[in-house]
């Protein structure tokens, strides 16, 4: 998933169809209350030892309420470390933002 846009660009030269199809798939899951799993941005505070209010893309069940639940994955220590590093990076930027 991380490099999927680059793969589409390499094969097709652009990503506009991939983006449109992804949005259509997400919308279908929500409107039809399908409870399908999609990687979407969600609040990760108190998950995997993350203490700040940041949003990361994790596999979530989408239904008519939006994100119904986050899939609880078993991660290696290295994967948890990478997730925390991403959260720390985002928090480092986010904490300095001012209300506009």
Q: Which pLDDT belongs to residue 78?
A: 97
DSSP 3-32: THHHHHHHHHS--HHHHHHHHHHHHHHHHT
pLDDT along the chain (100 residues), means of 10: 66 73 96 98 96 96 97 96 96 82
pLDDT score at 19: 84
Residue 50: count other Cβ atoms within 10 Å of its Cβ: 19
Domains of the chain: 4-94 (3.90.110.10)
- Tokens for 16, please give them: 């506009």
pLDDT of residue 23: 94
Give the pLDDT confidence score for residue 16 in this predicted structure.
74
The predicted model scores a pTM of 0.77
Q: In what order do the strands lie in the sheet with 66-70?
A: 36-43, 55-63, 66-70
Residue 96: predicted pLDDT: 86
Task: Identify the pLDDT of residue 75.
Answer: 95
């Amino acid at each position: 998933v991380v490099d999927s846009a680059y793969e589409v660009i390499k094969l097709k030269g652009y990503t506009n169809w991939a983006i449109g199809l992804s949005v259509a798939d997400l919308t279908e899951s929500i409107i039809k209350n399908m409870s399908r799993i999609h990687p979407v941005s969600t609040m990760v505070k108190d998950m995997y030892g993350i203490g700040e209010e940041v949003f990361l893309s994790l596999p979530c069940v989408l239904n008519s309420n939006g994100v119904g639940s986050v899939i609880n994955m078993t991660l290696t220590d290295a994967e948890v470390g990478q997730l925390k590093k991403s959260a720390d990076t985002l928090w480092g930027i986010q904490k300095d933002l001012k209300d506009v």
